[in-house]
Structure 1
Amino acid sequence: MKLKKLILSLHGWIGLISGLVVFIVSITGAIYVFEKELFAYFNPNYCQVTIPKATPVLPLSTLIENAQQATEHPITTIRLPGSDEQRQSYIFESRKRRPKNKAVGLFIHEDIIYWDRIFVDPYSGEVLGKVDVKKDFFLIVRQIHQFMYLRRDVGSFIVGSSVLLFTLTMISGLILWWPKNRKLAVKRMKIDMNSKKKRLNYDLHQVLGFYSFSVALLIAATGLVWSFKWWEGSIYWMLDGKRLSDKSIVAPPLIEVRQNSSKASTLDAIWIDVQRNYQQHQGAYLNLLPEIQQANATVHYNGRTWWSASDTYAYHLQNGKQYFKHLQNEKTLGMKWLDSNYDIHVGKIAGFPGMCIAFIASLICASLPVTGFFIWYGRKFKRKKTKANLF
């Protein structure tokens, strides 16, 4: 009995300490689950295009030239839609961030020097719009979610510590909830909507907490990867039996930089080569590194497994020839997990139903500190009122 009182006390105080951060992180996380879908819904003119009859997609070199005219900064990445998403625009980005160890100021947005996102119609070549990502609503939501909008080293520690404490409250809550018999278990798994406010609040706290336990624990575990390197390394070691530093792909050779070399002239050859190998894919990502005359292409596809499947290739940016590749079937279990961690975190690994589950679980996680606070406050208020009545 004393042990249960101790657990109850720890459960309450840990919840109070981490509650506000957990509430904010959970709400922003729920929003960000559908970030891509929400952006497309509110900006259809940027994301959706009309396919003209008998009009092929323009060469990538032409599209990047048009996108480059919309920004004064060099294009560094290209996001291409999946083979079944022909009505979507191509996205070109130019961005530059300060190194992680050279953070300035107190807030995370100061790490970004510039970040432009340009949407281009692949059939007409028209620039549909440009977004200053630094001021974009969804990036701000993510920065709050990951760092409480504080600089990276400070914010990640606050969020990570709060999520760790939240994990402890979930485990201790399950211990407190666990019934002595089956009859009591059935009772504790139901919410009586006709009960009084205090009882209803208590039921919402414990019943919703029970039903969301496994998903909330998974979301917390995958989220801690971005807060603590030791956590990421520990999971990687459990899966691979190696230290995280051992997972690195052998670095491809540097390419000698030549003057007046044109990246646009070889992009077409690179993209044609990618399409030749992947007639069906779920999207591709081209990362341009002109300082070493290299272009990295990552192609996502349905690997018919629970992991997020992707292959990565390195090309000469001067001649478009491929000289390095890292395929999904060559990855270790730890590498597959690292590549899939984000999709697991937001439920995308299980498709749209998984995203809905992650969304609902995030909202429930946001409600737990609120209902828990009212339980704590009600007990304290009742105790003080009882003592006052004695005098």
Structure 2
Amino acid sequence: MEKKKLKKIFRKIHLYLGFTTGLVVFILGITGCGWVFHDEFKNLFDDYSTVQVENCSFITPLQAKEKALTVYPDHHIHGIAYNQPNEALEVIFYEASPEFYRSVYLNPYNGTVLHQEDNLSGFFAFMLKGHMRLWLPKDIGQPITSYSTLLFLLIIISGIILWWPSSKKQQKQRLTFDWNDKTKWKRKNYDLHSIIGFYSSFFVFLIAFTGVGIGLGWLAFITYKVIGGEKSLYFLQPNNQTEIALPLDDPNNAIHNVYDITKNQFPDYKTIEVHLPESDSLSILVEVLYGEGQFHDVDYLFFDQKTSELLPTESIYGSYADADFSDLVLRMNYDIHVGSIFGLPGKILAFLISLIITTFPVTGCVLWYGKNYGKKKKQLVIN
């Protein structure tokens, strides 16, 4: 097939997919900008998170449960997050349907209720709902955002093909903003669309691809298998190895001292989140987090309720030391998507890339309008 005909096909693909997904991509870019620094802004205003250090032990998970249920009785506790000695303890409530997501902050030494928070309200929750599902019901909005982002990957690829210069003269023109007083707005708009698109294409593709990996499980599965993964991508919580069941209120149940055991084995922790088992037969899940807003290096530990022994899992969500390359690629997906994999500089980069993404639908529409309806004293030829 001739090169011109091939480019014509890719131009049609780029145009039609751009019109199909443009509004969604614009919303995802704006809401991505609004979400990326949520941890940093939250820490500026949460005056309830700091407590006076006391010379005594933290309350147990069951004591924290009892205190938190006085605020939200009859609701499900997802986890109990122990932080540093001078930080409040967070009890997290979550139910999927109808969606209920609240936090109760306690003094970790005496259980005093310090603050309660609705995690589904406020600016950042609004941004996240828009980013995940366009403020629509989850069953409707999430497929739209996921598949629109998948199509956006094709737009990026077709854009690179259309941009690719066929001569050295074009190469120089398409790598720099060669503007002067006589440069028309069509040329400037085209340069903004194509040159910025080229320089940011790698990062835009990376953010979009990791976003699709979050929304589409089948793509995450294919990616994992292609790079040699052999474990399960599902979160698998093993049963206790001992057959003797112990209720949570039994003093011999490991739930009473699992925080102390974890703290002693992993002293460099930032947060230790204990999950109360749903039944007497399930192990106790404990997550050990080491950084603010980073989740790839989390240790997912499973303790036998009776013996306190660590139990293995066939999932990628296990001990960080047991994760191989393919496991780490999948576990780093969210951190790469929001930029936290590189700390604050990475988040700044993710913010800028999200901001750039919002310009593509705008400059693309202006480019199409100028080509088809603008005044054509001198038509801009784009090879």
TM over 0.5: yes
Once structures 1 and 2 are overlaid, which stretch shifts more, 350-359 or 186-195?
Answer: 186-195
Assess, with a 3 A threshold, how the Cα gap between structure 1 residues 323 and 58 changes in structure 2: closer, same or farther: closer
Instruction: Give the aligned residue type for 2:38.
Output: E
Alignment partner of 2:116: what SS? strand
Q: Residues 159-187 of structure 1: CA distance to partner in whole angstroms, max 9, x if unpaired?
A: 12211221111111111222234454343
Which amino acid letter does the alignment assign opposite residue 362 of structure 2? V
The residue number in structure 2 matching 1:343 is: 335
Q: Aligned residue for 2:381?
A: none
Unmatched 5+ stretches in structure 1: 99-110, 387-391
Provide closer, same or farther for how the CA distance between residues 257 and 142 of structure 1 changes in structure 2, counting only shifts above 3 A: farther
Change over 3 Å in CA distance of 1:178–1:259 after alignment to 2: closer
- Name which of 167, 186, 189 aligns with 2:153: 167
Supply the distance in 2 between the matched residues of 1:251 and 1:379 (Cα, whole angstroms): 61
User: Structure 2 length as normaliser, TM-score?
Assistant: 0.82
- Greater Cα offset, 68-77 or 273-282: 68-77
Aligned partner of 2:372: which letter? Answer: K
Distance (whole Å) between structure 2 residues aligned to residue 263 and residue 169 of structure 1? 60
Q: Which residue of 1 aligns with 2:261?
A: 273
1:87-166 to 2 correspondences below 5 Å: 87-98=86-97, 111-112=98-99, 114-122=100-108, 125-166=111-152
2:223 pairs with 1:231:
no
The answer to whether the 8 Å contact 1:76/1:289 transfers is: no
The whole-number CA distance in structure 1 between the counterparts of 2:161 and 2:300 is: 45
1:208 matched to 2:191: no
Aligned to 2:322: 330
What per-residue deviation string (whole Å, max 9, x for no partner) do you get for residues 202-244 of structure 1? 22211221121111111111111233222111101112254x7
Structure-2 change in CA distance of 1:129 and 1:44 (3 Å): same
Q: Is the 8 A contact 1:294 1:316 kept in 2?
A: yes
| SS at structure 2 position matched to 1:291 | coil
Contact 2:259 2:272 in 1 (8 A): no
2:12 equivalent among 9, 13, 20 = 9
Tell me which amino acid in the other structure corresponds to 2:239: P
Q: 2:375 & 2:193 partners in 1: Cα distance?
A: 21
Amino acid at match of 1:21: V
172-181 or 211-220, larger mean C-alpha shift:
172-181
Provide Cα deviations, 1:188-210, integer angstroms capped at 9, x if missing partner.
Answer: 23336765443332222112211
Question: What is the identity, as a one-letter code, of the residue corresponding to 2:37?
Answer: F
Match of 1:363 in 2: 355
Structure 1 stretches of 4+ moved >6 Å:
383-386
Name the structure 2 match of 1:295. 284
Contact 2:107 2:113 in 1 (8 A): yes
Residues 239 and 290 of structure 1: CA distance in aligned 2, closer, same or farther (over 3 Å)? same
Q: What's the Cα RMSD here?
A: 3.2
What does residue 67 of structure 2 align with?
66
Amino acid at match of 1:328: Y
Number of aligned residue pairs: give it. Answer: 362
Match of 2:374 in 1: 382
Partner residue, 2:171: 185
Contact 1:307 1:337 in 2 (8 A): no
Cα deviation digits, residues 364-386 of structure 1 (max 9, x gap): 11111111111111112127999
Which ranges in structure 2 are unaligned for 5 or more consecutive residues? 313-317, 379-383
TM-score normalised by length of structure 1: 0.81
Q: 1:320 to 1:365 in 2, by over 3 A?
A: farther
Q: As a proportion of its length, which structure holds more helix?
A: 1
Q: Mean alpha-carbon deviation: is it higher for 1-10 or for 368-377?
A: 1-10
Alpha-carbon offset, residue 274 of structure 1: 0.6
